[in-house]
Amino acid sequence: MKLYMHPVSTTSRAVMMFVADEGIAVEMQAVDILKGEQYQPPFIAVNPNSMIPVLEDGDFRLTESSAILKYLADKAGSAAYPKDLKQRAKINEVMDWFNSNLYRDFGYGLVYPQLFPHLKRSSDEVHAATVKWGKEKSEGWLKALNDYWIGPKRNYLCGDRVTIADYFGTAFTTIGELIHCDLSRYPNVVRWLDTMKKRPGYAKTYEVFIGFAASTQGQAFQHI
Ligand SMILES: N[C@@H](CCC(=O)N[C@@H](CS)C(=O)NCC(=O)O)C(=O)O
Instruction: Give the mean model confidence (pLDDT) for residues 13-36.
Output: 97
Q: Which of 169, 49, 162, 166 is nearest to 107 (CA)?
A: 169
Pocket flag, ligand 1, residue 170 (CB < 6 Å): no
**Residue 214 pLDDT > 90, yes or no?**
yes
Q: What torsion, rounded to 10 degrees, do the Cα atoms 8, 188, 180, 205 define?
A: -20
pLDDT of 193 = 98
Which CATH code is given to the segment(s) 85-215? 1.20.1050.10
pLDDT of 25 = 97
pLDDT of 7 = 96
Mutate to test the pocket of ligand 1, among 52, 173, 174, 208 (most ligand atoms within 8 A of CB): 52
**Residue 58 pLDDT > 90, yes or no?**
yes
Pocket flag, ligand 1, residue 47 (CB < 6 Å): no
pLDDT of 202 = 98
**Residue 156 pLDDT > 90, yes or no?**
yes
pLDDT of 56 = 98
Pocket flag, ligand 1, residue 38 (CB < 6 Å): yes
> By alpha-carbon position, which residue is closest to atom 2 of ligand 1?
64
Summarize pLDDT for 193-213 with one digit per residue, the tens. Answer: 999 999 999 999 999 999 999
Phi, psi of 119 (to 5 degrees): -110, 5
Expressed in angstroms and rounded, the spacing between residue 51 Cα and the centre of ligand 1 is 5
**Residue 118 pLDDT > 90, yes or no?**
no
Cα gap 51→54, rounded to integer Å: 8
Q: Please give the span between the terminal C-alpha atoms of the chain, in angstroms, as a whole number.
A: 38
pLDDT of 211 = 97
Taking each helix axis from N to C end, the angle separating 164-173 and 10-22, rounded to the nearest 10 degrees, works out to 140
CATH topology of domain 2-76: Glutaredoxin (3.40.30)
Beta carbons of 53 and 5 less than 8 angstroms apart: yes
**Residue 169 pLDDT > 90, yes or no?**
yes
Beta carbons of 199 and 162 less than 8 angstroms apart: yes
Cα gap 64→53, rounded to integer Å: 7
Instruction: Give the mean model confidence (pLDDT) for residues 88-102.
Output: 98
**Residue 27 pLDDT > 90, yes or no?**
yes
> By alpha-carbon position, which residue is closest to atom 14 of ligand 1?
51
Kindly state the DSSP code that residue 220 receives in the 8-state scheme.
Answer: -
- Range list of β-strands (E), the chain: 2-5, 27-30, 54-57, 60-63
The model's pTM: 0.97
Pocket flag, ligand 1, residue 64 (CB < 6 Å): yes
The rounded mean pLDDT for the chain is 97
Instruction: Give the mean model confidence (pLDDT) for residues 50-79.
Output: 98
Instruction: Give the mean model confidence (pLDDT) for residues 141-160.
Output: 97
Cα gap 210→100, rounded to integer Å: 25
Residues 6+ apart with CB under 8 A from 127: 113, 120, 121
Q: Residue ranges per domain, the chain?
A: 2-76, 85-215
Expressed in angstroms and rounded, the spacing between residue 107 Cα and the centre of ligand 1 is 10
